[in-house]
Structure 1
Amino acid sequence: MGVPEDLPFARHLRPFDSEPAQDEDYTGRHLDGGEFDDVKAGGTRFDECAFTATTFTGGDLGGARFSDVGMGRTRWIGTSWSETDLLDVVIEDSVLAGVQAHGGTWRRVVLRGCKLDSLNLRATRLHDVEFRDCDLTEVDFGSATLTGVTFPGSTISRARFTRTTVKKLDFRKARSLDVAEGWDFLRGAIIDSGQLAEAAAALAQTLGLQVKDR
């Protein structure tokens, strides 16, 4: 795929000389292509790095930090991102399936055209995060803190928001909004009139309302 041209540090990137390792500091590195199984890179720092056309299956990046990082056409399957922090990160055309990303902090993160399946974001703090044109299926936001989070063009299916804390959470431009659990914890979130009509039955059930025409 090559280095993403819109990265301000793209011309300074150098290839990784090996797979990421635990408790290392990587600055200005580019991992392009390859499949990696059970990589152990917990506690590692990635600053001004890029990942492209790369697949990670399993493995542990718990406690890692991604700062000023671009990811394109990456696949993360069943990888642990527990207590991992993302700052100024862009993830494009990527897959996160079964990723355990609970307990971390995501700040100024943009996901574009990504498929997120069974992504665990429980107790994660999301600040100024945009899910743009993404497919979110069974994503768990339980006990997370969502501040300035938006979903333009995204499809949300069977999402969980139990015990979620929200501030400036905006669903209005999402293509669909299907909440499996936690409507009662979305007080203050913004939805449009069409989403309200679609969610009416679920909201009535949450509030204990009985809807009878006769």
Structure 2
Amino acid sequence: MPEPRTLADLPFAAYLEDHDGGRLESGGDYNVVHIADQEFDELAAGNARFSESALSAVRFTEGTLRRSRFNDVWLHGVQVIGTDLAESGWLDAEVVNSAFAGVAMFEAGLSRATFFGCKLVSVNLRGAKLRDVAFVNCVLRDVDFTEAELTDVTFPGSTLEDLRFEGVALKKVDLRDAAELGIRNGFASLRGAMITSTQAIDLAPAFAQTLGITIKDS
């Protein structure tokens, strides 16, 4: 199982410059910066671009970062509450001990991203595309993957509660190491997922109901 990096481990750590504390701007470029211990309320920073940057102990409340790009970024202890991240792009991102709650991330694109010890609650990932993404020791509760595309996605040690998979497209999605597997709907769309025999037994009643099979012991 991979381990999260520290700030000092980042290949660009020596080049990071502290953010000046000003508000983030729509369409702004934030390259090789360290944003730390700041709060952004009702932010209006759509189409912003973050590259080779680090965010630590930052809180986003409400506001928008829609269509923003996060390339080669490291987030630690970040809280994202009720924020619009729809259609955002994440490439080579590492998110550690962070929380996303009530966040819109529909039609977002995540590639080569890893979440360590994070909590995602009521996150809308409808129509999102996830490729080579790992959720390690995370909690995902009421996360909506409806009509999303997941490829090479894993959930080692993670607790999955009340997930929605209606119309999802899965390819090489490994659910076997999830600590808890709770799915609300979309059982007919789980083709392409790998589960254990124990998980299959637990999900059997839902599979039977989806197929119109009545289980009745005489």
Give the structure-1-normalised TM-score.
0.97
- Residue number among 10, 27, 36 corresponding to 2:13 in the alignment: 10
Pairwise CA distance, 1:201: 1.5
Residues 1:75 and 2:79 are matched in the alignment: yes
1:51 maps to 2:43: no
**Counterparts in 2 of 1:43-192, with a 5 A limit?**
43-192=47-196
User: What residue is the counterpart of 2:3 in the other structure?
Assistant: none
Question: Once the two structures are superposed, what CA deviation does each residue of 1:125-175 show, in whole Å capped at 9, x if it has no partner?
Answer: 100000000000010001110000000000000000111111111101001
Tell me the distance in 1 between the aligned counterparts of 2:29 and 2:122.
29
Task: Write the distance in 2 (CA, Å) between the matches of 1:205 and 1:19.
Answer: 51
Instruction: Decide whether the 8 Å contact of 1:176 with 1:195 is kept in 2.
Output: no
Q: Secondary structure at the match of 1:204?
A: helix
Cα drift, residue 50 of structure 1: 0.6
In the TM superposition, what whole-angstrom CA distance separates every residue of 1:161-209 from its partner, at most 9, and x where no partner exists?
Answer: 1111111111010011111010101112100011111111111111111
User: Considering only aligned residues, what root-mean-square deviation do their CA atoms show, in Å?
Assistant: 0.9
Larger mean Cα displacement after TM superposition, 125-134 or 198-207: 198-207
Structure 1 gaps, min length 5: none
CA offset at residue 107 of structure 1? 0.3
TM (normalized to structure 2)? 0.95
User: 1 CA distance for matches of 2:71 and 2:208?
Assistant: 43
* Number of equivalent positions: 212
Percent identical across equivalent pairs?
43
Q: Secondary structure at the match of 1:5?
A: helix
Contact 1:178–1:199 (8 Å) recurs in 2: no
